[in-house]
Structure 1
Amino acid sequence: MLQAFSLFTIPQARYGKINDVTPVRFRFSASKALVALHYMVRECDGIDLHAGLKACYFADKEHLNRYGRPIFGATYKAMKFGPVPLEIYEMAKGEALWLAELQMDRFPWRLEGYRLRLADNGHLDEDELSPSDWVCFHEGLAKSRGLDFNSRTAATHGADWQAANLGIMKYEDMLEDTEDKADRIVELQETAPFVRM
């Protein structure tokens, strides 16, 4: 029988035991983040970092709840103005580490202040994201762009953000409260490191 879930209790799984020491972690997909950032900048030239990064958060969280895996698998840090996907933020800033990882000389965008601007309208490999990835990404982008800064920030300050207490967020906290949440957490703890993003 499942216990009531709160920020201070761990639900009991029907099959297996939740490992409350090791959080669920996925392997980050830099190639998917590249496509998503390039698409955002191409479609919304001048999009601000807050809107772009929150679009990725909304999309990852929605895809996780619908399909059992995020799109990007980023590491989310709970910051004052909401979750920040750290690797995607680094890519948006143009960090060389991600250029090397992706075997590129430059990104097709540039950061001007806090806005991303299109720098190169090169090829966008839309096949890098699955159909379900695209659906959730479009929904996340529309949601993020449809909110002003304060509303967007408030929309990201849910239980998952609060549980992180300005630290690294846990994917298990991003799951909606459902009857099978504990079982989903156990399954993710066992499979997340092996999921192909």
Structure 2
Amino acid sequence: MEYQFNFNIEKGIESLLYILDLLEKTVQPTIHSVSKVLYFADKEHLEKYGRFICGDNYYAMKHGPVPSQIYNLLKLVRGDLSPSFQPSAEISEQVLHAFKIVDKHDIKKLRQPNTDFLSDSDMECLNHSVTKYGGLSFTKLTELSHDRAWESADENDLIDVEDIIKTFDNSIEILEHLQNPHP
């Protein structure tokens, strides 16, 4: 069975700003580090609360899972927007006023995150992920994110949510919840 979540673009922008706000206190955030921090936060949130934070999909890229829509937003800011991603002028403006890309990979926030878009559980998992993974090297983040879920997909293909769930100790309960979230 295939599970998809609906991507919430505003929540995606605020999640990214929240991660940047936490990371930049100790390291220079990059597209890679932010992608991996969000991946680990989403895994934790899915395992504990039955959903991804902003509903993004992950693709198995060479250096680990990449959040598809977040990556599209970052490419928009970097100036190499994918033809398949055409956000509205309003969304483009929001993104371009939220953060910038320096030297093709480093990310700088242009404003503070609006945490009204994030639940307590979202911030809990984002905080934990930044604390645990935020200071790790490119190589270590790549290695850790090359988990069984990443291995289950071909390179550049979608990682099935069920394959992520199969890495959890409580996978049966999470799968049952997703099949019938309102028993």
- Normalized against structure 1, the TM-score is what? 0.75
Asked if the contact 1:71/1:133 (under 8 Å) is kept, the reply is yes
Q: Paired residue for 1:6?
A: none
- Aligned identity (percent) is 29
Asked if the contact 2:7/2:55 (under 8 Å) is kept, the reply is yes
Asked if the contact 1:31/1:102 (under 8 Å) is kept, the reply is no
Residue 64 of structure 1 aligns to which amino acid in structure 2? Answer: L
Superposition RMSD on alpha carbons, in Å?
A: 2.4
The yes-or-no answer on 1:86 pairing with 2:68 is yes
Q: Paired residue for 2:14?
A: 35
Distance 1:69 1:187 in 2: 10
1:74-120 CA distance string (max 9 Å, x none): 110001100000101111232561663477373321111100123x3
Distance 2:173 2:128 in 1: 27
Q: Paired residue for 1:137?
A: 126
Q: Paired residue for 1:4?
A: none
Matches within 5 A, 1:169-188: 169-175=159-165, 176-178=167-169, 181-188=171-178
Any stretches of 5+ residues in structure 2 without a counterpart? none
The yes-or-no answer on 1:151 pairing with 2:133 is no
Which is richer in helix? Answer: 2
Task: Return closer, same or farther for 1:66/1:86 CA change in 2, 3 Å cut-off.
Answer: same
Distance 2:54 2:176 in 1: 20
Distance 2:49 2:14 in 1: 20
Q: Paired residue for 1:26?
A: 5
Asked if the contact 1:75/1:168 (under 8 Å) is kept, the reply is yes
Give the C-alpha shift of residue 183 in structure 1: 5.0
Give the C-alpha shift of residue 33 in structure 1: 1.3
Residue 187 of structure 1 aligns to which amino acid in structure 2? Answer: H
Asked if the contact 2:101/2:107 (under 8 Å) is kept, the reply is yes
Any stretches of 5+ residues in structure 1 without a counterpart? 1-18
Distance 1:182 1:55 in 2: 25
3-state SS of paired residue (1:137)? helix
Q: Paired residue for 2:42?
A: 60
Bigger Rg, structure 1 or 2: 1
Give the C-alpha shift of residue 186 in structure 1: 4.2
Aligned length: 168
3-state SS of paired residue (2:96)? coil
Q: Paired residue for 1:117?
A: 108
| Deviating more after overlay: 80-89 vs 93-102 | 93-102
Distance 2:149 2:163 in 1: 5
